Homo-oligomer: A and B are copies of this chain.
Amino acid sequence: MQEASHRPVSTSKTVIVLGADGYIGWPMAMHLSRLGHRVVAVDNLARRQWDEEGGTESLVPIATMEQRVDRWLACTGRTITYERLDLCDHDALDACVARWRPEAVVHFAEQRSAPFSMIDREHAVRTQVNNIVGNLNLLFALQAHVPECHLVKLGSMGEYGAPNIDIEEGYITIEHNGRSDRLPYPKVPHSFYHLSKVADSQNIHFACRIWGLRATDLNQGVVYGCETDDTVLHPELITRLDYDSIWGTALNRFCAQAATGNPVTVYGKGGQTRGYLDIRDTMACITLTLDNPPEAGECRVFNQFTEQFTLNQLADLVAGARRHHGQDTTIVHLPNPRVEAEEHYYNAKHTRLLDLGLQPHFLGETLVDSLIEVVARHAHRVDPVLLERPSVDWRTGGNEVWRQYADEGRRGALARATVELVGAATRRPPAHPGGNGLAGGRSVPEPAARPAEPAAE
């Protein structure tokens, strides 16, 4: 790695990574550990529970947090301390912050799916309460114990919506009736989830103003890819990959559809434009952010993405990559389950991280090929129903697909809980269960989860 953001740091910091069991959180914890920081990895494992509830699962099997940190130590000699706690449990969070006194906190620990937040009232409320209360608790814990700490908060480009003017990075100078002010950029978010992020941004901005906290709000685009320098070291170090309509991104779905010979499904006209970035660039962006903290009292906002694409461009990219392998791909347009503009102006600024030295990986057929390879390797775990059609509509909530899988999820969770209960009553479980221990969901876990050759097609 050549980038400045990948050089081992001269000054080691104590960094708490909140949400360290997630798609980005786990690679981030390893990345910061590799750079020499003292990393505390915090998670309540809610993401795994939501999978169980909704009958979804990561396409690639993932290890437990205990297995991950053990394997990381074995592979690198570096320690990541894992603490299981819920940010909504203020006493636990407060004690954690007081004990570690971090120089920086990277906060991923939120419900992060727009469709999940649109299933029904309960999911909308759960999303907003979980995210807003967890974030508020964190602000108060920082104020109480480490007001100098740098809070790096993951926001979303989806907070802005799709305005008809250029999107600036967090603030905009408005000239109005002969006067001028620099104010927070107006937001028209896409979902109850994105609304929770807007509320977080407002609360963080306020805490910086009144308490002098320092924060960077990273309005991140859609992240793609699942491999970093660290995840490839061992199967137990890989991160999750989601393709279903609740947790997956459109690009992941397109790759899963192409890999399994299904039509690529674009929602609506496909002119929906968003910002995207490679997961390796997320690692670099957050490292650059940590290396360049804001002043006390400053609430800085970076738009964290590297390229803009329409859905149609992504679908064409996937189809093009397949064509180079002699495969034909059909692209179909489904009725859009979301309420959003399908043809619109979109020009979002993203120069502040480039100014700090970000050297982007751009999305090309090579990355798409590698994603399709990962899917092909795990093609037997792809559920064709979840791949075929969305399970949540913005107007009417979770549909019959959602209900069917949620019912199955509940039954599965109940069955697992019963087995555990019976097991616990008859024996004490070993500290580290035997076998490869990789989490399996509804599908049968693979016999071996190490990187394999792409399946023949």
Contacts and interface: CB of A to CB of B under 8 A. Distances in A.
Interface of A: 90, 120-121, 124-125, 128-129, 132-133, 136-137, 140, 163-166, 172, 174-177, 179-181, 183-189, 191-192, 195, 198-199, 202-203, 205-206, 209-211, 339, 345, 394-395
Given A183-B186, A202-B195, A209 B128 contact: no
A188 B181 CA distance: 12
A203 B140 CA distance: 24
Nearest to A184: B186
A184 B183 CA distance: 12
A91 to B, nearest CB: 11
A140 B121 contact: yes
Given A179-B166, A199-B202, A129 B121 contact: no
A166 B172 contact: no
Nearest to A166: B177
Most chain B CB atoms below 10 A, which of A191, A192, A395: A192
Contacts of A125: 90, 133, 136-137
A133 B129 contact: yes
B124 A136 contact: yes
A185 B202 CA distance: 14
Given A133-B125, A186-B184, A195-B203, A172 B164 contact: no
Contact of A137 (B121, B186, B198): B121
B181 A163 contact: yes
Given A90-B121, A132-B132, A209-B339, 6 more contacts: A121-B136, A121-B140, A124-B140, A128-B132, A164-B179, A195-B206
Nearest to A194: B206
A177 to B, nearest CB: 5
25 contacts: A90-B121, A120-B140, A129-B133, A163-B181, A164-B179, A164-B181, A165-B174, A165-B177, A165-B181, A166-B176, A166-B177, A172-B174, A172-B176, A174-B174, A174-B186, A179-B345, A183-B188, A184-B188, A187-B202, A189-B202, A192-B206, A195-B202, A198-B202, A199-B202, A210-B394
A174 B90 CA distance: 40
Contacts of A206: 189, 191-192, 195
Given A129-B129, A202-B189, A176 B180 contact: no
A164 B174 CA distance: 10
Contacts of A185: 186
A347 to B, nearest CB: 8
Nearest to A177: B166
Contacts of A188: 183-184, 205, 209
Contact of A184 (B90, B136, B187, B211): B187
Contacts of A133: 125, 128-129
A121 B136 CA distance: 8
A183 B168 CA distance: 14
A396 B176 CA distance: 36
A188 to B, nearest CB: 7
Contacts of A166: 176-177, 179
B179 A165 contact: yes
A161 to B, nearest CB: 9
A439 B306 CA distance: 62
A90 B191 CA distance: 20
Contacts of A210: 339, 394-395
Contacts of A211: 395
A42 to B, nearest CB: 18
A140 B90 CA distance: 29
Contacts of A195: 199, 202-203, 206
A257 to B, nearest CB: 27
Nearest to A140: B121
Nearest to A161: B183
A220 to B, nearest CB: 19
A273 B163 CA distance: 32
A97 to B, nearest CB: 12
A164 to B, nearest CB: 4
A388 to B, nearest CB: 24
Contacts of A345: 179
Most chain B CB atoms below 10 A, which of A128, A183, A187, A394: A183
